[in-house]
Structure 1
Amino acid sequence: MAMDRIPGQDIYIGGIFALKNKAALNRANITHVLSALRLQPDEETFAPFQHHRIDVDDVDDENLLEHFPAAIKFIQSGLDSGGSVLVHCAMGKSRSATICIAYLLHQQPRALTPQSALEIIRQSRPLCEPNDGFMEQLSVYHEMGCPDDVTSHPVYNRWLYRREVEESVACGRAPVMKSVLFEDEQPQGTQESTDRTTEIKCRKCRRILATTPFITPHGPEKNSKSSTDCAHIFLHPLTWMRSSLFPNGASDEEEESPYGSRPEDAPLSGRLTCPNTVCGFNVGKFAWQGTQCSCGDWVVPAFSLAKARVDISDRVNLLRGAGGRLPQAAFGIRLPPGMRSNNVDETGNGRGNL
């Protein structure tokens, strides 16, 4: 089982020993070879082929996702040239399978999922089994819509941010400022139109702290308690929190010590204070390692506002009708039955009994 052909594709998947079988490579018309491993044989081995190399290890925290677009482009160029492509790693089990799954997803993003694409590959190579980290990255790639540009996509940046937070917390440190993804600095996608927007204000000075897009939903409905039992509202990190998260004001340009830590690291947890410098009211708390809400749900990382220290209000978004006009009901005008919205012509003039 040196190499196997993916059903319906001129793509072969195998281990490093597949390169030793020259006769099999010739029979398969292999013209392009993609290597997904860090240790490489002599370059002379690849002399007869177009070669693309990705230096990655088969470990959960390896970032293979960032290499998907280049790998897919290379595979497609081999197929377009009329040849076949060999994708290999050490055993032809995890890294190479991940690359092939990414290619299949890119070809049919709506028809396939990471798991269904894996099942296609397993039809000819049953031993394929990407590690858990790679399967997560394939899910992120699928969630993104399998784009040609991964690294600038907001979903990728959020995934990378979560990874960096997890790694920092595992080392007992808060992440550095430049790695924190402040949500109000990110491009906002098209929001679904709703008739209400939630506003959260400091109870002392009435400064707006957050609105609906920046509230992090969590799962009280999954527990025995209702959402009204939650004592806190959880948010995405926002720019006004910067002074609380990084009280030492460490800039991105500061040099790190030889041990990889700054002289004064940011705290893992602490208070969130109102950004109004005149106010400075304690409105909540943060914990990079996460915290458990009173409803029982864990939120990691956690940036929470105490309901007892903020005011929460719902602002009504008045929907305009044709021509940008507000409905008469918005002004408190109650119309006779013959003049209500279902009996108004394009000019806005009432019909019916008039």
Structure 2
Amino acid sequence: GGMVPVLPGLYVGGAESCSSPEALSAAGVVAVLTVDAEEPPAVPGVRAMHVRARDEPGADLLSRLDECAAFLGAARAGGVNPGFQGQLKLYEAMGCAVDTSSVLYKRYRLEMLSERFSEPQDLPREVFAVDPTTICQTSNTEVLYRCRKCRRALFRSSSILSHMEGIGPTAFAHKRITDSARLSGNSQEKCTSYFIEPVQWMEPALLGVMEGQLLCPKCTSKLGSFSWRGDQCSCGRWVTPAFQLHKSRVDEVRTLPAGNFQTAKT
């Protein structure tokens, strides 16, 4: 369709508008950002940027939004599919900058991968957090988690992907739960597992399968499980994809600012 003004000097329109030199000239347009599967023909005298993406909810626009920040107002104006709208809200939540260390961004990347792969064969390296055993020092602001049995370092607190707490036992309607269990559950910690991003030591277990167990890479004791289709936390919240390590199988190790000694919480 034709160009629609959304702010002074800012328009949103369809592919026809971008390819019409007359329409662009009449509106005083000097630059065009196109999000489409195919790059449109160049228009003389007009600067152009093309983001290759299909107009479908699963298309990845978020990773290019830093480059497209000047055009976000046009994208917000309308005609954007739900997938793009969700990515724009996420972009705003991250302070209008793509922060790859953000829990929000990590969860987004994993959700995109879970939708794209039926059986993950080749996962991007950046999806995996660095194995804590390959780095000599942990920041004083971070907590280290290790295998309770053999004390092998497993992940850092920055790898934990927190989620909104679910509604508890009532979320498990398919399971028979007694009144006494409901009462006792209220006084206990609702989330009995850590849901985290994949760590490098997990890679051999993840490739080629949709779900399975997560074993300690040193002593092979069972730590938890993973499922690209998602799994339900003990609090009732569904997490997709799910990489969970049971809290009862790991120890929390805090590095104290004063001195180089550590304290373990069991």
Residue 62 of structure 1 is matched in structure 2 by 59
Aligned residue for 2:11, secondary structure, equals: strand
Aligned runs of 1:1-354 on 2, under 5 Å?
2-7=2-7, 9-18=8-17, 22=22, 25-38=24-37, 46-72=43-69, 99-101=71-73, 118=76, 121=77, 128-147=78-97, 153-155=100-102, 159-168=108-117, 171=118, 173-178=119-124, 181-184=127-130, 193=141, 197=143, 199-203=145-149, 205-220=150-165, 222-223=167-168, 225-226=185-186, 228-246=189-207, 266-276=208-218, 279-308=219-248, 310-313=249-252, 315=254, 318=256
- AA in 2 matched with 1:12: Y
User: 1:69-115 deviations in whole A, cap 9, x for unaligned?
Assistant: 4445xx6xxxxxxxxxxxxxxxxxxxxxxx44278xxxxxxxxxxxx
Question: Relative to 1, partners in 2 of residues 1:17 and 1:179: Cα closer, same or farther, differing over 3 Å?
Answer: same
Question: Relative to 1, partners in 2 of residues 1:25 and 1:242: Cα closer, same or farther, differing over 3 Å?
Answer: closer
Query: Residue 33 of structure 2 contacts residue 48 of structure 2 at CA under 8 Å; is this kept in 1?
Result: yes
Question: Relative to 1, partners in 2 of residues 1:180 and 1:165: Cα closer, same or farther, differing over 3 Å?
Answer: farther
C-alpha deviation, 1:284, in angstroms: 2.3
C-alpha deviation, 1:131, in angstroms: 0.8
C-alpha deviation, 1:58, in angstroms: 1.5
The percentage of aligned residue pairs carrying the same residue is 28
- AA in 2 matched with 1:237: P
Structure 2 Cα separation of the partners of residues 21 and 210 of structure 1: 55
C-alpha deviation, 1:25, in angstroms: 4.3
Query: Residue 290 of structure 1 contacts residue 298 of structure 1 at CA under 8 Å; is this kept in 2?
Result: yes
Residue 86 of structure 1 is matched in structure 2 by none
Structure 2 Cα separation of the partners of residues 69 and 229 of structure 1: 38
Question: Relative to 1, partners in 2 of residues 1:167 and 1:40: Cα closer, same or farther, differing over 3 Å?
Answer: closer
Aligned residue for 2:120, secondary structure, equals: coil
Give the TM-score normalised by the residue count of structure 2: 0.67
C-alpha deviation, 1:26, in angstroms: 4.2
Query: Residue 164 of structure 2 contacts residue 237 of structure 2 at CA under 8 Å; is this kept in 1?
Result: yes
Q: Which ranges of structure 2 fall in alignment gaps of 5 or more residues?
A: 133-137, 170-184, 260-266
C-alpha deviation, 1:144, in angstroms: 3.7
Equivalent pairs counted in the alignment come to 236
Query: RMSD between aligned alpha carbons?
Result: 3.9
Max radius of gyration: which structure?
1
Structure 1 Cα separation of the partners of residues 145 and 52 of structure 2: 48
Give the TM-score normalised by the residue count of structure 1: 0.53
Higher strand share: 2
Question: Relative to 1, partners in 2 of residues 1:3 and 1:176: Cα closer, same or farther, differing over 3 Å?
Answer: same
Report which structure shows greater RCO (CA 8 Å, sep ≥6).
Answer: 2
Higher helix share: 1
- AA in 2 matched with 1:166: E
Structure 2 Cα separation of the partners of residues 40 and 206 of structure 1: 53
Q: Which ranges of structure 1 fall in alignment gaps of 5 or more residues?
A: 76-98, 104-117, 122-127, 247-265, 325-354
